[in-house]
Amino acid sequence: MSLAPLSTDHSTELYDLARRYIPGGVNSPVRAFKGVGGNPLFFKAGEGAYLIDADDNRYVDYVCGWGPFILGHCHPAIINALQLQLKRGLGYGASTEAEVEIAEKICNILPSIESVRLVSSGTEATMSAIRVARGFTRRDKVVKFEGCYHGHVDSLLVKAGSGALTMGEPDSLGVPRAFTDLTYVLPFNDSDAVENLFARHGDEIACLIVEPVAGNMNLVPPQAGFLETLREVCDRHGSVLIFDEVMTGFRVALGGAQSIYNIKPDLTTLGKVIGGGLPVGAFGGRKDIMDCLAPDGPVYQAGTLSGNPLAVTAGLATLKEISKPGFYDQLGRQTQKLLAGLQQRADAAGVPFTTNQAGAMFGCFFSDEKTVSHFDQVMACNLDNFKTFFHTMLDNGIYLAPSAYEAGFVSAAHLDRELELTLDAAEKAFSAVASGNQ
């Protein structure tokens, strides 16, 4: 069965109208299809594993809201919880019992987090975590890794991943040089580079921030020993180790990537899943560091909508569902089945292709290399092949991220039927790629 769209005329009309009033016609750059060509789609509904566009076409969705819809779209438990909260109000400008409940759950699930503060976005979480790390250490320098994206924080938009790579703007205009002068950028998965930098400048470094599984240069897991090296050098030099688990937290496992690799960071940033699809973020970790925050400490951070009752309600409903026994095992099996099917069809078509997986996150690379573990390997992948693959999949009712530098996501609603539809479309897509290479 094909889900091929018949027309996308209304999406085109909406895009033309949007460009009159919104910069680039979109409110987040990667939505603009600049990385793949063509016009972006506009969606009006989501149901389970599917998105429905403005022209009533249905697509199997592997973007999942860029991660948070781990249960699929419009899961009854989340919708019911939100309907109850709507009757009680949208917000109060004051604290609620639900905020305490979700903070307790986060701390219980992630042992590295002894104290947590809610914010409204992943960018706000990383920005705040770095501020409190600087306040705690009384140092200014920050270490990040090329291809890792931590939101549009001024000091971190240096060789960033995600939309910055897609747009070809790894160093954004509007960011003062003085900000990035305080940021060291190292190759991801290069332990020697980390050791060498800390040997020279370790006593100046306030913190090191990393995606423990890089999800913004497609999906690149850490190599053996890499995260251990980060933990060791930060301990040695008194620097704060920050795991950016905005994407991987409660996504790759209930305890995030830190539970898979058994590394305990000093601070963790969270988002996406803990809001069930509503705007949310959080940062937390060691109590002695978090105690530096106002009102108890001298590091100021605040947010009018932090802990918004709707986002917290959706997050609590999501955490309850994903905490059920066997949830992540099933999700991981479906993801593995999907990737095995894609690899089989790529091999049959003679297309150089490989995949990476972390729980229910995956990466697809049009590369001759069997293993992709470094930024330069990601950047060497065949973008023309990806563009052909993306558009053929889209024409056959499969919605992938419109960028070769974004991870994919599987939800609990992606059952065998959805995988079959996806692999049928992939057979056509790999054939189109092979034909274009002849």
Exactly one of 149, 184, 328, 399 is catalytic; name it. Answer: 149
- For residue 46, the cross-strand partners are 51
Contact 147, 217 (CB under 8 A): yes
Active site residue 395: no
Distance of alpha carbon 82 from alpha carbon 76, whole angstroms: 10
Distance of alpha carbon 182 from alpha carbon 205, whole angstroms: 9
CA distances from 227 to 147, 231, 251, 357 (A): 16, 6, 19, 17
Distance of alpha carbon 103 from alpha carbon 435, whole angstroms: 53
Exactly one of 159, 272, 387, 428 is catalytic; name it. Answer: 272
Exactly one of 53, 61, 190, 244 is catalytic; name it. Answer: 244
DSSP 217: S
Q: Residue 418 carries which side chain, given as an amino acid letter?
A: E
Active site residue 244: yes
Distance of alpha carbon 75 from alpha carbon 98, whole angstroms: 20
CA distances from 127 to 101, 186, 270, 300, 368 (A): 24, 19, 12, 12, 37
Q: Residue 175 carries which side chain, given as an amino acid letter?
A: V
In 3D space, the residue among 151, 145, 152, 166 whose CA is nearest the CA of residue 212 turns out to be 145
How many of the other CB atoms lie within 10 Å of CB of 37? 10
Q: If residue 360 lies in a helix (H) or strand (E), which one and from where to where?
A: none
Largest CA distance in the chain: 66
Distance of alpha carbon 79 from alpha carbon 81, whole angstroms: 5
Q: What is the CA radius of gyration of the chain?
A: 21
Give the end-to-end CA distance of the chain in Å, rounded to a whole number.
Answer: 28
Residues labelled catalytic = 149, 244, 272
